[in-house]
Amino acid sequence: MNTTPLNNQIRDKSTTIKSMIILALLFFIFGLVSWVNTILIPYFQLTLQLSNFQSYLVTFAFYIAYLVMAVPSSFLLNKVGYKKGMMFGLWCMAVGALLFVPAAYWRIYQIFLLGLFLLGVGLAILQSAANPYVTIVGPIESAAKRMSIVGTGNKLAGVIANLIFAAVVIRESDRILMREIESGAYSGEALETALDTLIKGVITPYLILGIALFIFGIIVRYSVLPELDPSVVNKRSSEDEKSHKSIFQYPDLILGVVAMFFHVGTQMIALGTSIQYAGTMGESLAGPAKNIPSYTMFLTFIGYFIGIALIPKYLQQRNALLICASINLVLSALIITTSGTVHFLGLTTDISLWFLVMMGLPNALLYAGIWPLAIDGLGKYTNLGSAFLVMALSGSAIMPIIYNSFVEMNASLSPFAAMKQGYWILIPCFAYIVWYAACGYKIKSWTGK
């Protein structure tokens, strides 16, 4: 385990606390921009009249940017430093948010996808900087606790993102209009006019968001955040650095990247399909079903506080990862195998929907557990290793499409049964994360030496 002392810049406790506050604000922005996608999927599916496949491209365009931009982001950060890199990331996000204005005005699906992609590019840069920053700004043993602290900002945004979107974008008159469109009350020119009216609701919120992101980029650039040298604060030993000539010689990192891919992919499946899954049970986006992702995010928010309280004083971060992955493995099995009608929070649904929602609680400590285990001791490869982990966030783009393929394979069944069978994909993903938490992270050499 890394015991190298931190550099002089971050020995000042006051500076560290201020840095954590700024990082928590950054993670809040991550959540605000990312988790609203869970309601954008059904919202765009209605207002842009998309097929199921086209609606999943909403998250694909956003998260595929992680795969495309993560490695270039690491080189950018090596060249300009963390703070300036974060500013560039926020500015890129600002451009993406501002593209929603012309996209909504003309109701052009492709411009929305471009805006989402640029939001993802900006987040890829920010994630490449912020996640390793949180990991190495203090002792590696308590990294999961720090990830949980800043993660509360991320998941708080996740709790309120859909509520804000629903309150600001979907007004009461819009809800009535949405129900009428869903019932087939409009067609032809009348339908086009109604859809134009609905989609323009996103213009003002995303215009404000774009301006705010640009200003916050300047604030971060000139903030008290210290510039860290990961080659100094996150190395194992000089012997390790001499023997490792490539990032691919760190099996614990590569295996961790796969675990991260499965984690974020399954998380997006649970969040991104929950409203549609409720829809197969007769619940509508115009009704209380729109709040389902917020319930999941609220549980994740609670999970972060549990992590802050327990890690590392009462629970090692690796054990927390093992326990939480095991819980989600059990919940996955319950989604597929159980059935029964439940009346809860104004919704009448199958009990399996609530097992899907409950995944939010253990999900809180999966990300916080995988990242420090995978990145520990990378030294000069810290930025590149972080980029690999950020690339794994593309699982949020790819896994829902794979899930949709499973659903379409069961198209002969009812929509409810087809979606339920699709959740089989969760089982091997969580089984792999359990294995990584149990022993995969210990593998330091591909030869087993």
**What is the reported pLDDT for 39?**
75
Token readout for 358 is 């409950």
Is 196 in contact with 327 (CB distance < 8 Å)? no
Residues with Cβ within 8 Å of 157's Cβ and at least 6 positions away in sequence, in order, are: 27, 28, 29, 30, 31, 32, 35
Residue among 135, 137, 124 at smallest CA distance from 88: 124
pTM of the model: 0.74
- Give pLDDT tens digits along the chain (449 positions): 344 444 444 446 677 778 788 888 888 888 888 777 767 878 888 899 988 788 878 888 888 888 888 888 888 888 888 888 899 999 999 999 999 999 999 999 999 999 999 999 998 888 888 877 777 666 766 777 777 788 777 767 866 877 788 788 877 788 888 888 888 889 989 999 999 989 988 898 899 999 999 999 999 998 888 776 655 545 554 455 556 678 888 999 999 999 999 999 999 999 889 999 998 998 877 778 888 888 988 898 888 888 888 887 888 889 999 999 999 999 999 999 999 999 998 888 999 999 999 999 999 889 888 988 998 878 778 778 888 998 898 898 899 999 999 999 998 999 999 999 999 999 999 999 999 999 999 988 887 65
Provide the 3-class DSSP secondary structure of residue 322: helix
**What is the reported pLDDT for 396?**
86
Q: Is the dihedral of CA 108, 112, 117, 118 positive or negative?
A: positive
User: How many angstroms separate the CA atoms of 127 and 121, rounded?
Assistant: 10
Provide the 3-class DSSP secondary structure of residue 340: coil
Beta-bridge partners for 347: 344
401 HSE (CA, 13 A, CB side): 15
Let me know if 176 is exposed, middle or buried by CB neighbors in 10 A (0-12, 13-18, 19+).
exposed
DSSP state of 311: T
**What is the reported pLDDT for 449?**
57
- Core vs surface per residue 244-276: b (16+ CB within 10 A) or e: beebeebbbbbbbbbbbbbbbbbbbbbbbbbbb
